[in-house]
Structure 1
């Protein structure tokens, strides 16, 4: 099905005080616009979905495959299926995540690791 969507028309979902997101899904892909405030930590997790993370502005530090990788504006990180990873926003950050297939836990809101009322924040 052909869709033409404006981000301004997509619901902004507030997951915790430091993390918001918007989701657009196609038949077999998901695009997420993720807004992270400086210090936001996405706890270590993994998923069957292949993930591409494109940083629009800001920077994220990832802990993945035994490495620390800083991904800045204009850069992309390709995360294979089932690879555990964690991230921290080094500054206020906007990222676009592409998932194949769509993240069912994000669609049905069973992603409790992102929804804690007191998000993990490093100081």
Structure 2
């Protein structure tokens, strides 16, 4: 894994990665302990139910999402957020095109 990203990451200089159908991500900074990423969703795109050994905190920057965490479901709008403990199953469905800001600890090596 790359040890650390640059101090300043300008959006127009960062590549977008195809994460899944209707979902793209752009890394906004990382080192071994922490990673932040922008995740863009088209309406109807589904972040498939999954789990990982990382703690995750997410902020709804825009749009509307149905989020499922450990069997509990909630509709989240711009300005809302959610938190996922390591190993807990979670996923989402994009109800209105939008963007999540995801923070992971430790960094997601599979995103690099």
- Structure 1 stretches of 4+ moved >2 Å: 14-17
**Aligned Cα RMSD in Å?**
1.5
Q: In the alignment, does 2:48 pair up with 1:43? A: yes
Q: In the alignment, does 2:71 pair up with 1:66? A: yes
Structure 2: gaps of 5 or more residues: none
Between the two proteins, the alignment pairs up a number of residues equal to 107
Structure 1: gaps of 5 or more residues: 108-123
1:62-89 deviations in whole A, cap 9, x for unaligned? Answer: 1222211112101110111110012100
- Normalized against structure 1, the TM-score is what? 0.80
Q: In the alignment, does 2:86 pair up with 1:81? A: yes
SS at match of 2:68: strand
- CA distance in structure 2 between the partners assigned to 1:46 and 1:37 by the alignment: 22
State which drifts further: 2-11 or 70-79.
2-11
